[in-house]
Structure 1
Amino acid sequence: MQAPGTKLDDMTPNSDHQAAGKTYLVTGASAGIGYFVAEQLAAANATVVLGCRDTAKADLAMRAIRTQVPDARLRSVRVDLADPSSLPATVESLDVDHLDAVVLNAGVMPTGPDRRVNAAGNELTFATNHLGHFALLAHLMPILIATPNARVITVGSFTARSARLDLTDLQSEHDYQPKRTYERSKLAQILIGFELDRRLRAHGIDNASIVVHPGGALDSLTPSRPPLFSRTTTQHLLALPAGALVHGKHAGAEPIVRAVLDNEITSGELWGPRIFGLRGKPHREAPHLHMTDPATAAELWTASSKLTELDPLPLPPNIPVRTTSEYQRHGA
């Protein structure tokens, strides 16, 4: 119950037993922000499924979580977003008849100047961060629709504020710039998150699509979680000045966990850190216009469907849906 005079944005959900009986899938849960999302959800008594490409790292992550949450209920499934042909087996291995939330968190950043492609011939960053999650969502959608009030949490990036999508060059074939390609892939995820909200509303489905970003999150401001990863005292001390602007990955996970657990948060909202969108407690934000543009999002959905040969939720014809201006009015 919200206390009188307390704003929703100032509340921190009471995690004790609040997610008991719930099952959540977190992609990219063996490192960084995804790990802390899994840890914090486990502390809320949920059953957490760690979706990881590297099964050995998933095992290490579960060991690390259990040092913090001894009675954690954990499982792992192999999720390789760069290989869309593997995703039906991933969903089958979940072996669940309900899924209360999926956190679409996993992602890669380009590690060199050269453009790379996956086995399907799609540019690797866009294919992993966006198309992989789009395809995974398509395979998960029957389970999500069958679960009352299930949530799809799309993890975007603060960098999407300055990114602009080029619908004529989604694969960065004509002008490949690694940093920009990453930023566009995160913007694509955000656009699809808002488009999914429109489609859920159009179908009258009670699931929620919520978009979240973690702000600026540094490894050096993040507490150690052996045997998965460690941060030295020297690294932490050197990073302290940066703490005035950004935070650690454990804090970056908080808006995501809030979006999973807080029933007051509704479909179509954007959440991130309070202070300049870079650090601080979670709060609701007003999305920038280019993040919610219905025409761009619809065209991106169509292109993504063609590239993956999947459609998570076809839009019924002639049904009014929320517009960009309505997302602005529902923002902070």
Structure 2
Amino acid sequence: MSSTPAAPPPWNVRRLPGAGDRVFLVTGGNAGIGYFVAEQLASTGATVVLGSRDPARAGAATGSIRARVPGARVRAVRLDLACLASLEAVPGALGALGVDRLDAVVLNAGVALDDPPRRETGDGHELMFGTNHLGHFALTRWLMPLLSAAPAARVVTTGSFAAKSERLDLDDLQSRHDYRPGRAYGRSKLAQMYFGVELERRLRAAGSTVAGVLVHPGGALDSLTPSRPPVHVRGAGARLGAAPAALFLQGKHAGAWPAVRAVLDPAVLGPAVPPASGLWEPRGFGLRGAPRRAPLWSHLADPAVAARLWEASRALTGVDVCARPGP
């Protein structure tokens, strides 16, 4: 008499499954949400590599994770998303750490500017679009051989709730006209999210073993984030002032939960629902709470916009993520 396999237990953000044999890279893993993604993944026994452009901050984050997670296997690699030419060297730097495959990369790092003037990367791209989107686009291309070397790797693209109300101007991706920092940030994250959706489509069409998963952290505030000195220190005043916001928003430790689930949960890649058909977000109005799968935002489901953005990104970076499996 055959038995029906037991259903997996409900996902618990505080009881993560072990991942001791796997290797994960988190861009921007030295601060903010990326730090907490790395800390939580390290608690599973996995090897976690922090991608950071600042070795000193990466060292502080590494020390903080090791202090909180005994025996944590955490390393760091220099990674500057604003310098496209430097990204080709990242796989070699990972190899020097003994990394011969990646089971997941979390594309998390980002720049957010609050005030004018408009700034550019060394490559001449608007700083937020160039870093948040183009940098991750190019990095994914160079990481693809390491991702393909794993049995079933995942590219987890971290978007933003700020992108929900934005629309891309495909004729002005670099915000050269009527530059507004908040809007430029939202559009840069929207471009990154289009990339995550289109990447998954192209990987499936190519029969790749690598999958793309899209997430966003909801409303994650520093004032609601637990202290992790010296990476983040929250004072008593910030705690008290943030109390009303806690009804609707959350800290960056909770903002990490959708990405962590996207990396670890087998159900994320279940055959019934393709990853490109939805995104992972906080349960409460997309702003706070445990992660859940939600329908893809309607404007993100437009394949024509995604395809045009992909071609523009390919031209601006000089690389094509899905062009070929190796360097």
TM-score (ref. length: structure 1): 0.90
1:291 to 273, 279, 300: 300
Distance 1:241 1:13, change over 3 A: closer
Superimposed CA distance per residue, residues 263-321 of structure 1 (whole angstroms, 9 cap, x where no aligned partner): 11023241000001000110001011211211100110000000000000039xxxxxx
**CA contact under 8 A between 1:101 and 1:260: conserved in structure 2?**
yes
SS of 2:18's partner is coil
Q: Deviations over 1:103-148 (max 9, x none)?
A: 0000001142111111111111100000000010011112112221
Could you say what secondary structure the match of 1:272 adopts? strand
Check whether the contact 1:16–1:45 (CA below 8 A) recurs between aligned residues.
Answer: no
What whole-Å deviation, never above 9, does each CA across 1:82-123 have from its counterpart, x for those lacking one?
Answer: 011111222210002210000000000114211111111111
Q: 5+ unaligned residues in a row in structure 1: which ranges?
A: 316-332
Equivalent runs, 1:294-313 vs 2, <5 Å? 294-313=303-322
Report if aligned partners of 1:156, 1:186 keep a CA contact under 8 Å in 2: yes
CA contact (8 A) 2:91 2:146 kept: no
* Structure 2: segments with no counterpart, 5+ residues: 270-274
Q: CA, structure 1 residues 291+16, in 2 after alignment: closer, same or farther (shift >3 Å)?
A: closer
Partner of residue 326, structure 1: none
Counterpart Cα distance in 2 of 1:287 and 1:140? 26
Distance 1:161 1:247 in 2: 18
Aligned 8 A contact 2:17 2:264 in 1: no
1:179 to 163, 178, 182: 182
2:76: which partner in 1? 76
- Answer whether contact 1:221 1:247 (CA < 8 A) is retained: yes
**Change beyond 3 A, Cα 1:2–1:264:** farther
For the 8 Å contact 2:13–2:257, the answer to whether it is kept is no
Alignment of 1:185-224 (within 5 A): 185-224=188-227
Please show how residues 316-331 of structure 1 align to structure 2 within 5 Å. Answer: none
Q: Render the CA deviation track for 1:154-193: whole Å, top value 9, x for unaligned.
A: 0000111111001000001122111000000000011110
Give me the CA root mean square deviation. 1.7
CA apart distance, 1:3: 6.3
Shift of 1:38: 0.2
| SS of the residue 1:265 aligns to | helix
| 2-structure distance, mates of 1:217, 1:2 | 37
Give the superposition deviation at 1:204.
1.0
Task: State the identity as a percent.
Answer: 56
Question: Residue 157 of structure 2 is aligned with which of 154, 158, 161?
Answer: 154
Which letter does structure 2 place at the counterpart of 1:174? H
Under a length normalisation based on structure 2, what TM-score does the superposition of the two structures give? Answer: 0.92
8 Å Cα contact 1:199/1:314 also seen in 2: no
Partner of 1:88: 88
Q: Aligned partners of 1:227, 1:169: CA distance in 2, in Å?
A: 39
Runs of 4+ in 1 over 4 A off after TM superposition: 1-4, 13-17
* In 1: Cα distance, 2:230 partner to 2:177 partner: 42
In structure 2, relative to structure 1, the CA distance for the partners of 1:165 and 1:17 (3 Å cut) is closer
What residue is the counterpart of 1:327 in the other structure? none
The farther-off stretch of 225-234 and 12-21 is: 12-21
- What corresponds to 1:278 in structure 2? 287
Instruction: Give, in angstroms, the shift of residue 233 of structure 1.
Output: 1.7
Q: Matches of residues 1-332 of structure 1 in structure 2 within 5 Å?
A: 10-12=10-12, 15=15, 18-95=18-95, 96-266=99-269, 267-268=275-276, 269-314=278-323
1:49 partner SS? strand
- Structure 1 CA distance for aligned equivalents of residues 164 and 87 of structure 2: 30
> Which amino acid letter does the alignment assign opposite residue 55 of structure 2?
T
| Greater mean deviation of Cα atoms: 16-25 or 49-58 | 16-25
SS of 2:212 mapped into structure 1: strand
